[in-house]
Amino acid sequence: MNLTERIIACLQRHPDWDTARVAKSCAARHGDVDAVRRGEQVPDPGTAEQFPKQEPASAPAGISLAAVKQRFDIAASIARALGEIRRGTLLPEDELCRLTAGRDRSRFRRAVENNPELSRAHRVRLRLDDSSEGKFYWGHAEDIAEAVRLRDM
């Protein structure tokens, strides 16, 4: 049963219904119901009349290697994020993880473990509150060196 036939059957069963109710019942647009009431035919959704055939794209769709690196090279993402941190500011590791790896904390941890030179120069554990172990903070190498000096005084 095509759309026009469905609308006609609904109008015959429920002549007192308004356009909005018929359209909702038949999964049609208001304009389609009005056209059937005027005696016109409406094309079925998904037919070639309503949706003209699109020509295929000339080149295959793809993504760039830079987009893949940006998404999966967490070590490079950490380095970029460290460059954006203002001097004199230390960023909590949880925030850096969210910025660089999103919700994939294990990928962030692997990147830190596999690049010890990056974490050694830009990472420090500080106990700023009453937590038992303290938290890791990231920043510029000079800021980290100053934080280590102050912590070990």
Output the pTM of the full model. 0.55
Task: Check whether 107 has a pLDDT greater than 80.
Answer: yes
How far is it, in rounded angstroms, from Cα 115 to Cα 95?
19
Q: What is the mean pLDDT of residues 107-136?
A: 88
Work out the pLDDT band at 3, boundaries 50, 70, 90: confident
Distance (Å, whole) CA 2 – CA 44:
6
| pLDDT band, very low/low/confident/very high, at 118 (cuts 50, 70, 90) | confident
Tens-digit pLDDT profile for residues 6-57: 899 999 999 899 999 999 988 888 888 999 888 888 877 665 455 556 666 5
Please check whether residue 60 is in contact with residue 32, taking contact to mean a CB–CB distance below 8 angstroms. no
**Average pLDDT for the chain:** 85
